[in-house]
């Protein structure tokens, strides 16, 4: 993938996320969209008229495909009802809104025999801000993310809950029936064609994976910012960050990461003669680690963007024929989430190791241990480092690949399943911990700045960081500072990536 292609794909995913923001309106179907949707419906009508078996319409679901069925409305109601078994806290509103947006995008492509009138009703409710509250647990992501998507479909019928946002921007859940009534909207009835098109897809695992990708890309950008600041304050040898090192190896991600690091270094940095020629790998090999992370994230981005552009329904129509297949199997998304989790761990681990460098008097240039100005009487960053170690350990637990947990289910039918949403949910939880590791390193750098007298710097985020984590004149609780520092670095990384990607 060329540099231009990877930036384009990153931008595409970012635009998908922005396109599901609260208040954004989905564009109407084009004439071409409507023609494709009608042609798909006509193809199914002809198959039914010819007496051909069609999954879900003339035959039952899953292993019950061997049995006949003949009522579209009864089949539609039954499909979403029997899958109403999802559990756990709902996915956050951004994920829930993106999930429905992705399904609407797929349904308008003309593969799914969806009625344009039904699509417009569903899109109209999305445009008016109706957001199903979708439980996060209970799908194997094989015949699509059945339970989460069925929960969304049920919300449109008035069953379950929906997200609502108050005037202060705070989200909460309320009964879906009440939210629909307040919008003056009638609950939907799901004919089986539309129910199949909506529920048989990878929208839930895909949405969470896309949001995770953005978070981990920002994480890598934030750690590059912090690495450059740490290297400058310690006055390490800047040679590892020179372009020639990356050119010699030829890895695109490494070249980009090294460029990020150079932007964060002070101008004309020279090695302090008291520093070693070669620093520990957490500093010296940061371009290689972050670069490898970027290369893998770009590979993941390509898979996720393709999935978002495609159709993950079953059955589909093509060239006047109904085809039964398995596009709903979320293995591409499952692998993408597993890889994202491995990348996240390495970036968080790099940050944790850099925190260890600045806490160790052997490595921090002879400064006090734990950067406390009163060793013995005070503990400085000891608690911050201990918690960061715990965060990384928990990230490792969460990073176990969900694709290794496949279990056969659904009788003889779903004998290979990807567990893609399970994996994406674990990565999302791990990402929250990783930002706490970043916040811990940022607080450590604020203290290093104060102890070493390096000067807080004038460009964002350094003055803000110095203000939220002032010098440790005495020990104090630092949990809130770590959270605030993580948020500051996340915002900084988002701004930098938007500028660099031309958004």
Separation in Å, CA 200 to CA 103, 315, 362, 429:
9, 9, 57, 26
The neighbour count for residue 394, using CB atoms within 10 Å, is 14
Query: What is the C-alpha separation between 190 and 121, in angstroms, rounded?
Result: 11
What pLDDT does residue 73 have?
67
Q: How many domains does the chain have?
A: 2
pLDDT tens-digit readout, 120-146: 999 999 999 999 999 999 999 999 999
Cβ neighbors of 501 (< 8 A, separation 6 or more) are 7, 10, 11, 14
Residues 227 and 288 in one domain: yes
Query: What is the C-alpha separation between 357 and 351, in angstroms, rounded?
Result: 10
How buried is 387 (Cβ within 10 angstroms: 0-12 exposed, 13-18 middle, 19+ buried)? middle
Query: What is the C-alpha separation between 211 and 329, in angstroms, rounded?
Result: 20
CATH number at residue 27: 1.10.275.10
- What count of residues does the chain have? 503
Query: What is the C-alpha separation between 174 and 171, in angstroms, rounded?
Result: 10
Cβ neighbors of 453 (< 8 A, separation 6 or more) are none
3-state secondary structure 350-362: HHHHHHHHHHCCC
Residues 220 and 85 in one domain: no
Please provide the DSSP assignment of 411-427 as one string. Answer: TTTB-S---HHHHHHHH
Inside any domain, residue 487: yes
C-alpha distance across the termini of the chain, in Å: 20
| E-strand stretches of 254-405 | 316-318, 321-323
The residue range of the domain holding 64 is 3-201
The neighbour count for residue 477, using CB atoms within 10 Å, is 7
Query: What is the C-alpha separation between 290 and 476, in angstroms, rounded?
Result: 33
Whether omega before 412 lies within 30 degrees of 0, making that bond cis, reads no
Residues 488 and 401 in one domain: yes
Residues 279 and 339 in one domain: yes
CATH number at residue 331: 1.20.200.10
What pLDDT does residue 458 have?
78
Inside any domain, residue 124: yes
pTM score: 0.97
Separation in Å, CA 328 to CA 193, 301, 333, 414:
15, 19, 11, 12
Tokens at 160, concatenated? 């379950």
Residues 365 and 271 in one domain: yes
Q: What does residue 42 show for φ and ψ, rounded to 5 degrees?
A: -65, -40
Query: What is the C-alpha separation between 446 and 178, in angstroms, rounded?
Result: 49
Q: Can 111 be counted among the known catalytic residues? A: no
User: Rounded to 5 degrees, what angle do the CA atoms 464, 468, 471 make?
Assistant: 110
Residues 240 and 356 in one domain: yes
Query: What is the C-alpha separation between 223 and 261, in angstroms, rounded?
Result: 9
What pLDDT does residue 456 have?
61
Tens place of pLDDT per residue across the chain (503 aa): 788 888 999 999 999 999 999 999 999 999 999 999 999 999 999 999 999 999 999 998 888 888 888 766 677 888 899 999 999 999 999 999 999 999 999 999 999 999 999 999 999 999 999 999 999 999 999 999 999 999 999 999 999 999 999 999 999 999 999 999 999 999 999 999 999 999 999 999 999 999 999 999 999 999 999 999 999 999 999 999 999 999 999 999 999 999 999 999 999 999 999 999 999 999 999 999 999 999 999 999 999 999 999 999 999 999 999 999 999 999 999 999 999 999 999 999 999 999 999 999 999 999 999 999 899 999 999 999 999 999 999 999 999 999 999 999 999 899 999 999 999 999 999 999 999 999 999 999 999 999 988 766 778 999 999 999 999 999 999 999 999 999 999 999 999 999 999 86
What pLDDT does residue 300 have?
98
Q: Decide which of 201, 223, 251 is a domain's last residue.
A: 201
Residues 88 and 190 in one domain: yes
Inside any domain, residue 502: no
Nearest C-alpha neighbor of 226 from the set 73, 108, 314, 355? 355
Residues 106 and 9 in one domain: yes
Q: Annotated catalytic residue: which of 55, 111, 156, 241?
A: 55
Q: Decide which of 153, 184, 201 is a domain's last residue.
A: 201
The neighbour count for residue 12, using CB atoms within 10 Å, is 16
Nearest C-alpha neighbor of 438 from the set 371, 341, 355? 355
Whether omega before 315 lies within 30 degrees of 0, making that bond cis, reads yes
Residues 326 and 450 in one domain: yes
pLDDT tens-digit readout, 381-406: 999 999 999 999 999 999 999 999 99
Inside any domain, residue 346: yes
> Which letter, b or e, does each residue of 92-102 get, where b requires 16 or more Cβ atoms within 10 Å of its Cβ?
bbbbbbbbbbb
Residues 180 and 215 in one domain: no
Q: Decide which of 158, 177, 201 is a domain's last residue.
A: 201
């Amino acid at each position: 993938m060329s540099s231009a292609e990877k930036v384009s794909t990153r931008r595409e995913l970012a635009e998908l996320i922005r396109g599901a923001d609260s208040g954004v309106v989905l564009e109407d179907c084009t004439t071409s969209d409507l023609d494709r949707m009608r042609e798909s419906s006509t193809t199914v009508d002809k198959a039914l008229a010819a007496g051909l078996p069609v999954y879900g319409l003339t035959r039952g679901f899953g292993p019950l495909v061997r049995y006949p069925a003949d009522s579209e409305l009864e089949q539609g109601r039954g499909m979403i009802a029997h899958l109403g078994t999802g559990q756990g806290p709902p996915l956050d509103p951004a994920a829930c809104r993106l999930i429905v947006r992705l399904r609407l995008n797929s349904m308008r492509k003309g593969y799914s025999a969806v009625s344009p009138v039904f699509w417009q009703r569903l899109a109209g409710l999305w445009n008016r801000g109706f957001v199903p509250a979708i439980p996060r647990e209970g799908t194997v992501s094989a015949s699509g993310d059945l339970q989460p998507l069925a929960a969304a479909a049920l919300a449109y019928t008035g069953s379950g809950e929906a997200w609502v946002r108050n005037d202060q921007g705070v989200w909460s859940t309320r009964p879906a029936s009440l939210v629909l009534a307040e919008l003056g909207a009638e609950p939907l009835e799901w004919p089986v064609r539309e129910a199949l098109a909506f529920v048989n897809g990878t929208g839930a695992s895909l949405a969470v994976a896309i949001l995770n990708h953005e978070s981990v890309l920002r994480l890598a950008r934030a750690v590059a910012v912090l690495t450059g600041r740490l290297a400058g304050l310690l006055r390490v040898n800047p040679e590892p960050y020179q372009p020639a090192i990356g050119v010699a190896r030829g890895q695109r991600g490494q070249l980009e990461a090294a460029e990020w690091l150079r932007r964060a270094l002070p101008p004309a940095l020279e090695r302090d003669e008291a520093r070693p020629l070669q620093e520990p790998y957490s500093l010296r090999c940061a371009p290689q680690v972050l670069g490898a992370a970027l290369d893998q994230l770009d590979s993941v981005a390509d898979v996720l963007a393709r999935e978002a552009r495609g159709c993950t329904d079953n059955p589909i129509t093509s060239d006047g024929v109904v085809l039964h297949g398995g596009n709903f199997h979320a293995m591409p998304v499952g692998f993408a989430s597993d890889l994202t989790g491995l990348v996240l761990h390495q970036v968080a681990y790099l940050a944790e190791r850099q925190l260890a460098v600045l806490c160790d008097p052997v490595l921090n240039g002879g400064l006090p241990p734990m950067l406390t100005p009163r060793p013995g009487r005070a503990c400085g960053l000891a608690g911050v480092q201990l918690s960061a170690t715990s965060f990384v350990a928990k990230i490792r637990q969460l990073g176990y690949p969900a694709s290794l947990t496949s279990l056969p289910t659904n009788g003889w039918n779903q004998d290979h399943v990807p567990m893609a949403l399970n994996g994406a949910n674990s990565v999302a939880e791990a990402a929250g911990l990783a930002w706490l590791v970043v916040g811990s390193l940022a607080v450590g750098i604020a203290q290093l700045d104060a102890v070493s007298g390096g000067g807080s710097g004038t460009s964002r985020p350094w003055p803000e960081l110095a203000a939220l984590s002032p010098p440790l004149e005495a020990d104090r609780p630092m949990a809130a500072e770590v959270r605030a520092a993580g948020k500051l670095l996340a915002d900084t990384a988002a701004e930098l990536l938007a500028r660099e990607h031309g958004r």
